[in-house]
Amino acid sequence: MIDPNDFAPILRMGITIDEEIFIAKKIANLLKGERGKILDYACGNCLIPIFLSLSLNNEIYATDDWKQFDKKKAEELISKYRSNVRLFYGLEKTPFPDSYFDLIYSVLYFYNLKRDRVKNHVQEINRILKSKGKFLVVDIISVRGKVKKELEEIQYSLSNYEEANGLFFSLWQKS
């Protein structure tokens, strides 16, 4: 399905391509049956949105600041795999209207941020996520409290939590 040799690791993620594929498979299992508009927030090399688009047979929106990975290379990979991924620019301020997405996920992004920046990103995610929408956070276990605090402050409830390979997968429901 996905050729690991097509993708370059992203420094900010700090993981191998094999680990990224493991995460993509785990997310695909967690999101089975999810429909609607899905956003990859801080998509990096686009391996995960490409994998999910193919696995879930769903369009995936993906946004990043494109500082760690060339957007043109991502577009080439999307085309090569004939995946249904749409790329956008922006993180703390995305180009999407309020209440646009049914589900947003972010992989290994929040551990790079200081608490005030986490708060800004969570507020932006909250803005573009529909009421009753879901937000899946995949990150290193040591930052779960930082993200949890911000989400609970804006009335998100935890609907699923799992740990694997030093990562947490927490699925939150917006009130």
What's the predicted TM-score (pTM) here? 0.95
Supply the CATH classification number for the domain 4-174. 3.40.50.150
The DSSP bridge pattern shows strands 60-64 and 38-41 to be: parallel
Domain ranges across the chain: 4-174
pLDDT tens, N- to C-terminus, the chain (175 residues)? 799 999 988 877 788 999 999 999 999 999 988 889 999 999 999 999 999 999 999 999 999 999 999 999 999 999 999 999 999 999 989 999 999 999 999 999 998 888 888 999 999 999 999 999 999 999 998 888 888 889 999 999 999 999 999 999 999 999 8
Q: Report the amino acid identity of residue 69.
A: F
